[in-house]
Amino acid sequence: MIKRVLILCTGNSCRSQMAEGLWRALGEGKWESHSAGSKPSGYVHRLALQAMQERGIDIDSGRSKSVEEFAGQEFDVVVTVCDHAKESCPAFPAAAELLHWPFDDPADAVGSDEQQMEFFRRVRDEIEQRIVRFLKD
């Protein structure tokens, strides 16, 4: 039976989008991954797309979604990846596991494109490591 995960953040433009793509790839067909935001930005950040392309994971078809789109749905795991989402997102009482994994927001990165890209890569790699650890347990 395929398990379902919902990854939540505020804007659903960077962290949760990267986590959705990583979980899909690392879950090896055993997981259905979704992401959403408490205040969706309306776009997926171009550097998030690029960071994931570097890993061979295509999230180009992703879109910034509201958590409200998933209200009433059942998930095995719901993960918040920022403190604001943890506080502002609706509860998913049917979820078997509620996890909070806060990561820095790469959308806040400043500097040159390369400096910003390094920030995105670091956060992507941190998310990947966390998912790998979770899936091993």
Active site residue 82: yes
Active site residue 89: yes
User: Which listed residue (8, 36, 89, 95) is catalytic?
Assistant: 89
Contacts of range 38-41, beta carbons closer than 8 Å, 24 or more positions apart: 38/8, 38/9, 38/10, 38/67, 38/84, 38/85, 38/88, 38/89, 39/10, 39/11, 39/88, 40/11, 40/12, 40/13, 40/64, 40/65, 40/66, 41/11, 41/12, 41/13
User: Which listed residue (6, 7, 9, 107) is catalytic?
Assistant: 9
User: Which listed residue (77, 82, 123, 127) is catalytic?
Assistant: 82
Active site amino acids:
9, 82, 89
